[in-house]
């Protein structure tokens, strides 16, 4: 293995390790902080959270990002120590990496397929790890100068060398121990009660910000939304998916604003369902429990428990499965015959989806504020939009 090859392998292993570490951090925050929104969640299409919170984000309860950390850390250790000019195993290292990266590449291809074709989402951190794995696969493969059939024999010989070296043995033990600790301390995806945190408060816009916002607001598309607003001056309609991370964020940020204006009678808020699940919506993004979640909300409205169930669904968003939704529907929503009511409720959800398609909803969340169609605004901008519409209606 040449010095150039070693440097390239070190560089891509370090790149992958950084990206995997960032992925693990984001996944951890998503599991522990319901209001967290990753900086790589740019849209419903370019979103890390879509990937991490999907069924493809973990294997046997272990996040994929943890596997990435372990793979790239091992590649870095093998290259850094085994690939030194004085190392007796220097010529074997590319073969070890090629074998490991062949397995890693199989996972990468599967995850890429799941992300691009099932979830229809692009995770930038994931793509970075894909690139690093592919690069290590190509570089190590081209640097391997011996038949791969001899790899087990070479590995057995090098393992004996490691066992005789206190330093190498210590590094190996620390790596295994670190892997075990990393897997054990990562939070497990389990049902939690909705946190009763106070809603956030937002300062009003400055005069210049208000002027800029009004100019922006007036050019947003406006459509006729066929929902009666009654005596309210402002009608807010949200097309929602309970497995959509930005939907959870806007729920947490907007609830205080909506409660304030709803109490005054000046605002009417209507929640419509647009689950990105092929069972009830052709515009699928692989959210395979969102039809059940929407149907549970519809059923819970009949017994007055929809508000409590909505909070619970968003609090448990990272771990939602059809089975968990049914548990929450029974325990939180007071629904004892979910399966019997499911088909009827799902028809209501499909009607919401048809309305969303008519109004050209492409992603979630999509809001209509007095007919103006917008995506997820910051809490401050959402408050400003309602204030502006109220002022113009007086």
- DSSP assignment letter at 88: T
Select from 252, 254, 226, 251 the least CA-distant residue to 364.
Answer: 251
Residue indicated by tokens 């010989």: 157
Q: What is the pLDDT along the chain (394 residues), one digit of tens a residue?
A: 788 999 999 999 999 999 999 999 998 887 776 567 677 877 767 888 778 877 788 887 788 999 999 999 999 999 998 878 777 788 899 999 999 999 999 999 999 998 888 777 789 999 999 999 999 999 999 999 999 999 999 999 888 887 888 888 888 888 889 888 888 877 765 555 655 567 788 899 999 999 999 999 999 999 999 999 999 999 999 999 999 988 998 999 999 999 999 888 999 999 999 999 999 998 877 788 999 999 999 999 999 999 999 999 998 887 788 999 999 999 999 999 999 999 999 999 999 999 999 999 999 999 999 999 999 899 999 999 999 999 998 7
What confidence score (pLDDT) does residue 44 get? 63
Longest dimension (CA), the chain: 84
Q: Which of 242, 244, 364 is nearest to 309 (CA)?
A: 242
Backbone angles phi, psi at 220, to 5 degrees: -75, 145
> What integer pLDDT is reported at residue 181 of this predicted model?
85
Closest CA to 361 of 107, 44, 9: 44
Q: Residue 238 CB: number of other CB atoms within 10 A?
A: 22
Torsion of CA 258, 288, 17, 140, to 10 degrees: -150
User: Which one, of 254, 245, 246, 346, lies nearest residue 293 by Cα?
Assistant: 346
Which class is 3-185 in CATH?
A: mainly alpha
The strand pairing partners of 59, in sequence order, are: 62
pTM above 0.75, yes or no: no
In this predicted structure, what is the pLDDT of residue 120? 76
Other CB atoms within a 10 A radius of the CB of residue 148 amount to: 13
Residue 83: the pLDDT is 73
Which residues in 331-370 are b (16+ Cβ under 10 Å) and which e? ebbebeebeebbeebbebbbebbebbeebebebbbbbbbb
How many residues are present in the chain? Answer: 394
DSSP character string of 177-244: HHHHHHHHHSPP----PPP-PPPP--PPPPHHHHHHHHHHHHTS-B-------TT-SEEEEEEE-TT-
Q: Give the model's pLDDT for residue 160.
A: 86
Which residue is associated with the tokens 């169609």?
A: 373
For the chain, what are the domain ranges? Answer: 3-185, 207-393
Q: Assess if CATH 3.40.30.10 describes domain 207-393.
A: yes
């Amino acid at each position: 293995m040449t010095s150039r090859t070693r440097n390239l392998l070190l560089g891509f292993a370090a790149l992958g390790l950084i990206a995997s570490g960032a992925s693990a951090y984001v996944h951890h925050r998503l599991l522990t902080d319901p209001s967290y929104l990753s900086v790589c969640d740019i849209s419903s299409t370019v979103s890390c959270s879509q990937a991490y919170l999907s069924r493809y984000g973990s294997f046997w309860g272990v996040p994929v990002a943890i596997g990435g950390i372990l793979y790239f850390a091992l590649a870095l250790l093998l290259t850094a120590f085994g690939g030194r000019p004085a190392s007796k195993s220097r010529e074997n290292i590319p073969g070890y990496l090629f074998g490991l990266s062949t397995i890693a590449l199989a996972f990468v291809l599967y995850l890429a397929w799941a992300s691009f074709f099932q979830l229809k989402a692009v995770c930038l951190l994931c793509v970075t790890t894909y690139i690093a794995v592919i690069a290590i696969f190509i570089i190590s493969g081209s640097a391997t100068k011996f038949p791969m059939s001899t790899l087990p024999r070479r590995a057995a010989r090098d393992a004996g060398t490691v066992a005789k070296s206190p330093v190498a043995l210590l590094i190996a033990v620390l790596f295994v121990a670190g892997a075990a600790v990393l897997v054990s301390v990562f939070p497990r995806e389990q049902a939690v009660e909705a946190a009763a945190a106070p809603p956030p408060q937002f300062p009003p816009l400055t005069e210049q910000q208000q002027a800029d916002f009004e100019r922006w607001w007036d050019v947003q598309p406006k459509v006729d939304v066929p929902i009666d607003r009654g005596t309210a001056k402002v009608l807010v309609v949200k097309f929602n998916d309970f497995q959509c991370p930005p939907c959870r964020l806007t729920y947490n940020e907007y609830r205080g604003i909506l409660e304030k204006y709803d109490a005054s009678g000046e605002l009417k808020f209507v929640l419509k369902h647009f689950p990105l699940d092929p069972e009830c919506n052709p515009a699928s993004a692989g959210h395979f429990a969102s039809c059940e979640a929407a149907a549970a909300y519809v059923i819970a409205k009949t017994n007055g428990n929809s508000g409590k169930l909505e909070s619970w669904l968003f609090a448990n968003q990272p771990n939602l499965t059809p089975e968990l939704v049914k548990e929450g529907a029974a325990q939180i929503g007071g629904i004892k015959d979910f399966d019997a009511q499911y088909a009827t409720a799902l028809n209501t959800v499909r009607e919401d989806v048809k309305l969303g398609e008519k109004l050209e909803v492409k992603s979630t969340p999509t809001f209509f504020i007095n007919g103006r169609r917008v995506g997820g605004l910051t809490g401050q901008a959402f408050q400003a939009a309602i204030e502006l519409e109220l002022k113009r209606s007086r």
